[in-house]
Amino acid sequence: MTVAADPMADWASSGVVALTGRPDGPPLVPPGLAASRARELSARIFALTAGTAAPVRVDGAALLAERAAFTGHSRRGRTSAGGACRLLSTSDGWAAVSCARPDDPLLLGALIGTELTGDPWPAVEAWLRDHSGAELAERATLLGLAAGPVGPRAAGAALRGAGAAPRVAEAALREACAAPHGPGAALRATGAARPAAPPVPRPVDGMLVVDFSALWAGPLCSHLLGLAGARVVKVETPTRPDGARRGHPGFYRLLHAGHRSVVLDPDTPSGRHALAALVAAADIVVEASRPRALARFGLDAQAAVAAGTTWISITAAGRVSDRIGFGDDVAATAGLVAREPDGTPLFCGDATADPLTGLTAATLALTDPADGTGILHDVAMTDVVAATLDGAPQDPHRPATVARRTGTGWAVETSEGWVPVARPRRREPAGDAPLMGEHTTEVLRGLGIPTA
């Protein structure tokens, strides 16, 4: 796989530019290096799997817009491509606010102190005009809302909350992308104590991946590990199925084909025992929950790591933060927005933080500490995105580069000339996704875990 040297060319070919801008205007080029970093990460994944029975060839840049190729989403300006997130003005700038879950209108009402009926957005917009981004971030964290001020990094302290430790995802992502694609040049741990020796590539063929995550970032990580030959078991609870099951069925099949589906109830003794036994049997655990939520399930990441497990923890702002977030609001709060000449921010792509984080997490999972110990990778989505903006040649505060009309399409000027703006493209699912809980008995019995 060839990694393009020009960030503008990577953006143009990714499909993200076609999803960025106002619906009645030209496509815009996002700031930073996210498309280039995604392509470099996919090249890294191929290098890590090239000598195995299941080398993984994907174009990371194209993965950033892949969901839209299934859903048909298009650019919508200050409304996200999927429609669940808005960019709204505050008393001191701009904020991203998501309303994606059934309970979010109720939480938005609590945010502004008004019971909301019907369309919640007019009342939320009016409230935000009189309140700062920092106040929004504080209240949203307390309520469990996915919302916060739009970047740059100066807003980061408000997002992380009091007592949050500094993140190191920026350095880890830069290190991964800058490292040579050879043995020993692995991505290091994120937000955890680094191992005594550098991590080394490892084949995952036949390894057991237990995936507690949902939506896009975590499932993409597990999907890539499955392509590399891992056995993936998706775990859901009876009351909290993966929300992506309500999304486009083709995209869900793409990420989950060939996996096993297990449903366990953590509110029952047998369910909690089975969950603990699954984790004990896992080589790799992928989850996207705050630590206290896992603790309610009786799961302890540190204990699993001490026993030799690789633990991938994906959160909005790191395990020390109570903030929650989804792909669109996380990208915007990290600063990944396209600016109009007057400074108005517009969404870049479709939930770009999700696939970029999934690629990062998969790269982490394909390495192992040289001493064979377990490791916890604390992957903060906000910092993964911010790392693509820090030091980038295009200032995120400047107006975005505008694509030029060329016949029936659009093009972006790069160092090699004008490059057509690609539409989002998709890979075809390799089979059917499992029904929810379809393999519960089979998986537990296969691992010697009691089923009752």
Q: Delineate the domains of the chain, giving CATH numbers in brackets.
A: 169-323+356-382+428-446 (3.40.50.10540)
Examine the pLDDT at 193 and tell me if it is beyond 70: no
- Please report the pLDDT score of residue 31 as a whole number: 95
Beta strands in 344-408 (DSSP E): 345-347, 367-368, 375-380, 401-402, 404-406
CA distances from 436 to 259, 392, 440 (A): 11, 43, 9
**For the chain, what is the mean pLDDT?**
88
- Please report the pLDDT score of residue 298 as a whole number: 86
- pLDDT bucket at 392, cuts 50 / 70 / 90: low
- Please report the pLDDT score of residue 396 as a whole number: 66
Integer Cα distance of 232 and 273 in angstroms: 20
Examine the pLDDT at 312 and tell me if it is beyond 50: yes
Examine the pLDDT at 195 and tell me if it is beyond 50: no
Helices then strands, each counted (H, E), the chain? 18, 18
Tokens 């209108």 locate to 105
Q: What is the mean pLDDT of residues 133-146?
A: 96
Integer Cα distance of 406 and 420 in angstroms: 8
Cβ burial, residue 315 (10 Å; 0-12/13-18/19+) = buried
Examine the pLDDT at 291 and tell me if it is beyond 80: yes
Better-predicted residue by pLDDT, 131 or 175: 131
Give this prediction's pTM.
0.91
Examine the pLDDT at 166 and tell me if it is beyond 50: no
320 Cβ contact partners less than 8 Å away, ≥ 6 residues apart? 160, 163, 164, 165
- Percent of the chain residues past pLDDT 90, beyond the cut: 78
Phi, psi of 69 (to 5 degrees): -65, -25
Helix (H) or strand (E) holding 382: helix 381-386
65 Cβ contact partners less than 8 Å away, ≥ 6 residues apart? 14, 15, 16, 18, 19, 349, 350, 424, 425
- Percent of the chain residues past pLDDT 70, beyond the cut: 87
Examine the pLDDT at 234 and tell me if it is beyond 70: yes
